[in-house]
């Protein structure tokens, strides 16, 4: 995922630190040691690994570098829990993260407590540069909170028992949302990118810069499951003319004919989620689709995906803490009564694929050192997603936030909103 380090305002970080760290543990609370250990694919990581890696981040970039008296909990952990920082040396091979049956989940919780104790003791006297790194570490941990949930969902989906992590209201609505309305966007020169006024942004969100928008409109809401079923029933997955070439090859090689976690049963489509297997809710935004699927759908619908600049410009006046974000059960929610005179549900529910490749904003430079690896080195082959999801901790996302995944990936809470030229 992503990162940066705008200096925090003069905020006292202690309560925020406590809250973020506690949420990680709360999210992991329903997991057994085994649940927290298994790795379902190389793209995913064990929950235990997320819990440890986020602690390693504080231990390394804050405590080691800024608190000379700090003693690491276990000198082996740097090797085990470094993710991808070449500048931090050798590390455990990513596809083998599931082999770490030890340290146990309890050991990792002890590790977390050790790091927390040291950090909370030091925090009040910390210099601003170190405090900025604490803020970065908290934002980093929030990113991993979302990944931890999506990775757990993927793991549980491979268990024929299809266990649920929690119950969620099925929320079958009385009515479907009405047809899409097109909301005209700004055109001409607009300013986007991090404006440096918030309490935090990742490096890749900046610099603030002008962008040129051509005449366009965005749909007032995301595409729903009901609409997606229309696409399926119209043969959308079987018509190569709708697909990017790489996408079509992917559907053929992987036998893709529906979103991830969907299954066609006698009584209709069902999907697996953290709340178990349930009927697909027609009024909820479609979720767990790849960029390839989003792009094919848009072509089928006579539309296109928004560019990230169009999306970001459109979101500038939408409160980023609005919408279905991570307060309770992480599931996209149906909604029948959207206001259709403005952009709705820009934040929360599902990350929205844009048609923009993840490349640097004009003037972007990665930092020196290991933390410069946070975002910049991932700028090839991926597409930008915007807006956060039902698994994004509320307060984490904003208009300039740039999430990114490869076009075939779909185990995140990913959906789409249509755009068109005017």
Q: Which is nearer to its own copies, 159 or 337 (CB)?
A: 159
Q: Does 251 bind Fe ion (CB under 5 A)?
A: no
Nearer to Fe ion, 50 or 154 (CB): 50
Q: 299, exposed or middle or buried, with CB in 10 Å at 0-12, 13-18, 19+?
A: middle
d(CA 388, CA 303): 22
Residues 251 and 240: their CA atoms lie apart, in Å, by 10
Distance of CA 249 to the CA centre of its chain: 26
Q: Which does 255 bind (CB under 5 to 8 A by kind): its own copies, Fe ion, none?
A: none
Judged by beta carbon distances under 5 to 8 A according to partner kind, the member of Fe ion, its own copies, none in contact with residue 367 is: none
Per-residue tokens: 56? 């390693």
Look at residue 83 and give the partner it binds from Fe ion, its own copies, none, a contact being a CB closer than 5 to 8 Å depending on partner kind. Answer: Fe ion
Residue 422 contacts which entry, its own copies, Fe ion, none (Cβ below 5-8 A, type-dependent): none
Closest CA to 318 of 221, 418, 209: 221
C-alpha 33/C-alpha 237 separation (Å) is 39
The nearer residue to Fe ion, 50 or 333, going by C-beta atoms, is: 50
Give the integer Cα–Cα distance in Å for 27 and 148.
8
Interface residues with its own copies (CB under 8 A)?
A: 32-38, 40, 76, 79-80, 84, 86-87, 92, 96, 98-105, 155-156, 158-161, 163, 189, 209-212, 214, 240-241, 243-248, 291-292, 295, 355-357, 359-360, 362-363, 372-373, 377-381, 383, 407, 421
From the CA atom positions of the chain, what is the Rg in Å? Answer: 21
Q: How far is the CB of 111 from Fe ion (least distance, A)?
A: 16
Rank residues 55 and 344 by Cβ distance to its own copies and give the closer one: 55
What is the smallest separation between the CB atom of 178 and its own copies, expressed in angstroms?
A: 28
Residue 37's binding partner among Fe ion, its own copies, none (Cβ under 5 to 8 angstroms by kind) is its own copies
CB of 200 or CB of 248, closer to its own copies = 248
Q: Work out how close the CB of 404 gets to its own copies at its nearest, in angstroms, rounded to a whole number.
A: 11
The Cα-based distances of 16 to 10, 137, 293, 329 in angstroms read 13, 11, 38, 21
The distance of closest approach from Cβ of residue 330 to Fe ion in the complex, given in angstroms and rounded to an integer, is 19
Residue 66-105 contact track with Fe ion, rule CB under 5 A, x = bound: -----------------x----------------------
Tell me how far, at minimum, the Cβ of 54 lies from Fe ion, in Å: 7
Nearer Cβ to its own copies (103/415): 103
| Subset of 45-64 contacting Fe ion (CB under 5 A) | none
**Upstream peptide bond of 390 is cis (omega within 30 degrees of 0):** no
What, of its own copies, Fe ion, none, does residue 105 touch, CB below 5 to 8 Å by kind? its own copies
Rounded Cα distance, 405 and 385, in Å: 8
Rounded to whole angstroms, how far apart are CA atoms 219 and 361?
25
96 CB-contact burial (10 Å; exposed 0-12 / middle 13-18 / buried 19+): exposed
- Encoded tokens for 211: 């962008």
Binding site for Fe ion (CB under 5 A): 83
């Amino acid at each position: 995922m992503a990162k940066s380090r705008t200096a925090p305002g003069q905020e006292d970080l202690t309560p925020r630190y406590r809250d973020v760290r506690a949420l990680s543990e709360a999210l992991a609370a329903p997991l057994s040691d085994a649940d927290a250990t298994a790795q379902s694919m190389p793209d995913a990581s064990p929950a235990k690994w997320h819990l440890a890696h986020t602690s390693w981040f504080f231990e390394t970039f804050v405590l080691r570098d800024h608190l000379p008296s700090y003693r690491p909990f276990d000198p082996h952990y740097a090797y085990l829990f470094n993710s991808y920082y070449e500048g931090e040396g050798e590390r455990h091979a990513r596809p083998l993260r599931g082999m770490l049956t030890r340290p146990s989940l309890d050991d990792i919780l002890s590790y977390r407590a050790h790091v927390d104790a040291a950090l909370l003791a030091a925090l009040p006297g910390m210099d601003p540069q170190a405090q900025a790194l604490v803020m970065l570490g908290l934002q980093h941990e929030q990113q991993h909170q979302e990944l931890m949930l999506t990775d757990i969902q993927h793991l549980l989906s491979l268990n024929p028992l299809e266990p649920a992590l929690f119950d969620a209201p099925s929320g079958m609505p009385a009515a479907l949302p009405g047809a899409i309305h097109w909301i005209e966007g700004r055109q001409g020169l607009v300013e986007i990118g991090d404006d440096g006024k918030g309490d935090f942004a990742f490096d890749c969100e900046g610099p603030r810069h002008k962008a040129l928008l051509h005449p366009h409109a965005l749909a007032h809401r995301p595409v729903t499951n009901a609409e997606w079923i229309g696409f399926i029933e119209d043969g959308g997955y079987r018509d190569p003319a709708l697909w990017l070439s790489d996408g079509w090859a992917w559907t053929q090689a992987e036998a893709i004919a529906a979103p991830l976690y969907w299954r066609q049963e006698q009584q209709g489509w069902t999907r697996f989620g953290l709340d178990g297997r349930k009927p697909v809710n027609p009024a909820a935004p479609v979720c767990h689709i790849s960029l390839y699927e989003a792009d094919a759908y848009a072509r089928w619908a006579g539309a296109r995906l928004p560019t990230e600049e169009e999306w970001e410009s459109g979101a500038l006046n939408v409160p980023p803490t609005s919408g279905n974000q991570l307060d309770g059960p992480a599931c996209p929610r149906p909604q029948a009564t959207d206001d259709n005179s403005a952009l709705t549900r820009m934040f929360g529910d599902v990350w929205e694929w844009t048609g923009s490749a993840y490349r640097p904003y004009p003037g972007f430079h990665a930092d020196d050192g290991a933390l410069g690896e946070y975002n910049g080195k991932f700028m090839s082959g991926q597409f930008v997603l915007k807006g956060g999801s039902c698994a994004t901790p509320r307060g984490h996302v904003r208009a300039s936030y740039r999430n990114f995944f490869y076009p075939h990936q779909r185990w995140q809470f990913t959906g789409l909103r249509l755009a068109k030229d005017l």
